[in-house]
Amino acid sequence: MVEEQHNTTSGAAPASREASAPDLSVTLCGVRLDNPVIPASGTFGYGNEFKDFYDINILGTFSFKGTTREARFGNPTPRIAECTAGMINAVGLQNPGIDAVIERELPRLRTFFHKPVIANISGFSVEEYAYCCQRIDREEQVGWIEVNVSCPNVRHGGMSFGTSPEAAAEVTRAVKAVTTKPVFIKLSPNVTDIVSIARACEEAGADGICLINTLLGMRVDVRRRRAVIANTMGGFSGPAVFPVAVRMVYQVARACRIPVMGCGGVQTARDVIEMMMAGATAVQVGAANLVNPYACRDIIEALPDEMRRLGISRLSEIIGIVE
Amino acid sequence: MRPGTDRLPLPGSQRITMYKRDIYRILTNEPLTDAVWRMTLEGDTQWITAPGQFVNIALEGKYLRRPISVCDYDARTLTLIYKVVGDGTAQMSRMTPGEELDLLTGLGNGFTPKESSQRPLLVGGGVGVPPLYNLARRLLASGRHVEVVLGFNTASEIFYEEEFRALGCSVTVATADGSRGVKGFVTTAIAERGLDFDYFYACGPLPMLRALCDGVPQDGQLSFEERMGCGFGACMGCSCKTKYGNKRICKEGPVLEKGEIIW
């Protein structure tokens, strides 16, 4: 089996393969995606900003802005700091609240996006996570729920649930009890042992794992002698974190049986393929959308040629191919 | 009305939002003062629909784009005036005619000329002056008498005084150190010269905008600055609270109305 996989991906692909169109589709918890490219939560709003750039129906799907029970303004500004090969954000889960998302954002989204969407849910208590997931469970357009237990920018919430196996499992159980939709738990890289947390989520019934959220980071304005970001620290993302993400995807995909959505620093079609080879079933693209609003479209358009170059006929075949 | 953030229609919110990412060729790039440069670019300007909008510029080796307000534009060219404040803008100042830049254009809600105002006042502070230039042209073209007050720290930092005058504006300059024009701030100049106006448009540092709003009874529109991630409303990096709900400086702004601002 292993030998066979090696053969199909080694340098020279059979001529018959090159003739047929590469198959980009993957299956995420039983739902087929046209391609594995998924804009990550917090970089794509509720889709509205990007429909002015391109037809977002070309995407596999997208993960909408982290949504909480109540509307949140988030942190004071400045919330953004530039870094070499990346950025720090400390937005702090600004969102209009679950009611406004259901009453306003989803009906509007339906007018220009015709695929199931990933609902990203954040919270400050187990009850809040469960409440929001129960509300969103009734929404037909939501194909998956992504539970964010890894936001580094809010106190007493987010990341505090994702840094202990017990707390992550508790949130998973509470959410699974109130929804029939597939549940992904989005994990933080700011932990000692990612595998134990991912396993705890799997054992608690999670249908998949998404990782990584941002790395905790900080910049100092040396002229003003203070932190660039009003909240002092924030989440670091961008191409600089890609190797960390690939490593964690690899570790978790090997340790768990449930699918992994890879996320972190992805910028190109080749990055997508690399992350899938490390174990990702689908790949999220985050900060790249903010720098190049066409990033996901460009990646999707580049994937077939990149696959041909690498002798890949079906993307789904390379998932976790790295030993 | 834009669902999501606003409760009331915004200036310019009726227009169809479209953006363009394209490559623009540098025609000229020259210093106006020690730190302020003017760059003219050639390319598709069709998505720029209002004075006070901005472009977001990708620079080699810099992760985030640089938002720069549009000073002026026509069918084929746009003029940007920028201050060299860091590595990115320093890099821009070293670029030469013929080189190309990747821009997102048509960003933000700019100034919306107020129909009923016949005697508008334009107030610019430092590098906040540029976006008022195209606005001045439009207001003059529609037959308004345009008063302009430009505030700078010192005489050597003054730029575009003559350009506004050449358009046909009545121009007053203020310098904080008194090295030229009225000594003091723009508000000093407005009071000292007893300027007669029925509405104002302003862009400049936050303390100037606040002093102006507090200092004059007239209504107006103000352009704000904030550290941005994307520049097109996706990242929520530049949010602010207004009386009409949360807004994004890059999307519903950068121009806000005096009446909605929470200082």
Contact A87 B238 (CB under 8 A): no
Q: Tens place of pLDDT for every residue, chain B, 263 residues?
A: 333 333 333 343 334 456 778 999 999 999 999 999 999 999 999 999 999 999 999 999 999 999 999 999 999 999 999 999 999 999 999 999 999 999 999 999 999 999 999 999 999 999 999 999 999 999 999 999 999 999 999 999 999 999 999 999 999 999 999 999 999 999 999 999 999 999 999 999 999 999 999 999 999 999 999 999 999 999 999 999 999 999 999 999 999 999 999 98
Q: Which of B15, B18, B23, B64 would best serve as a mutation to test chain A binding (most A beta carbons within 10 A)? A: B64
Question: Which residue of chain A has the CA closest to B241?
Answer: A73
Contact A74 B239 (CB under 8 A): yes
Cβ neighbours of B163 (radius 10 Å): 17
Strand A142-148 vs strand A183-186: parallel, antiparallel, or unpaired? parallel
Nearest Cα of chain B lies from the Cα of A125 at a distance, in angstroms, of: 24
Alpha-carbon span A85 to B63, nearest angstrom = 6
Please name which of A248, A266, A66 lies closest in space to residue A157, comparing C-alpha atoms: A66
Residue A154 pLDDT class (50, 70, 90 cuts): confident
Residue B18, pLDDT score = 65
On the question of pLDDT at A3 being above 80, the answer is: no
Alpha-carbon span A260 to A237, nearest angstrom = 19
What mean pLDDT comes out for the span A286-291? 98
Is the CB of residue A156 less than 8 Å from the CB of residue A189? no
On the question of pLDDT at A107 being above 50, the answer is: yes
Residue A153 pLDDT class (50, 70, 90 cuts): confident
What mean pLDDT comes out for the span A183-209? 97
Alpha-carbon span B151 to B176, nearest angstrom = 8
| B-chain residues near A107 (CB < 8 A) | none
Nearest Cα of chain A lies from the Cα of B200 at a distance, in angstroms, of: 27
Cβ neighbours of A140 (radius 10 Å): 8
Is the CB of residue B13 less than 8 Å from the CB of residue B109? yes
Nearest Cα of chain A lies from the Cα of B247 at a distance, in angstroms, of: 10
Catalytic site residue from A133, A151, A210, A256: A151
On the question of pLDDT at A125 being above 50, the answer is: yes
What mean pLDDT comes out for the span A57-71? 98
Residue A6 pLDDT class (50, 70, 90 cuts): very low
Residue A151 pLDDT class (50, 70, 90 cuts): confident
Q: At what angle do helices A269-278 and A295-309 cross, to 10 degrees?
A: 70
Alpha-carbon span A192 to A184, nearest angstrom = 21
Query: Measured between alpha carbons, how far apart are the two ends of chain B, in Å?
Result: 24
Residue A206, classed as helix, strand or coil, is coil
Query: Whole-structure pTM over 0.80, yes or no?
Result: yes
A29 is catalytic: no
Q: Give the length of chain B.
A: 263
Alpha-carbon span A90 to B235, nearest angstrom = 10
What mean pLDDT comes out for the span A12-19? 49
On the question of pLDDT at A136 being above 80, the answer is: yes
Residue A20, pLDDT score = 77
Nearest Cα of chain A lies from the Cα of B20 at a distance, in angstroms, of: 7
Which ranges of B5-130 would DSSP assign to H, the alpha helix?
A: 87-93
Q: Does B60 touch chain A (CB under 8 A)?
A: no
Residue B127, classed as helix, strand or coil, is helix
Whole-number mean pLDDT of chain A?
Answer: 93
What phi, psi does A200 have (nearest 5°)?
-60, -40
Contact A53 B19 (CB under 8 A): yes
Residue B134, classed as helix, strand or coil, is helix
Residue A152, pLDDT score = 76
The predicted-structure confidence for A237-273, as pLDDT tens digits, reads as follows 999 999 999 999 999 999 999 999 999 999 999 999 9
Max Cα–Cα distance, chain B, nearest Å: 49
Q: Which two structure tokens, joined as six digits, stand for A177?
A: 């009890």
What mean pLDDT comes out for the span A160-173? 93
On the question of pLDDT at A229 being above 60, the answer is: yes
On the question of pLDDT at A127 being above 90, the answer is: yes
Q: Does B178 touch chain A (CB under 8 A)?
A: no
Contact B19 A52 (CB under 8 A): yes
Residue B9, pLDDT score = 37
| A-chain residues near B230 (CB < 8 A) | 289-291, 293
Residue A156, pLDDT score = 63
Alpha-carbon span A269 to A295, nearest angstrom = 10
Residue B10, pLDDT score = 38
Query: Quick one: DSSP state of residue B194?
Result: T
| B-chain residues near A50 (CB < 8 A) | 234
Alpha-carbon span A124 to A122, nearest angstrom = 7
Q: Which two structure tokens, joined as six digits, stand for A160?
A: 């505090």
Residue A4, pLDDT score = 42
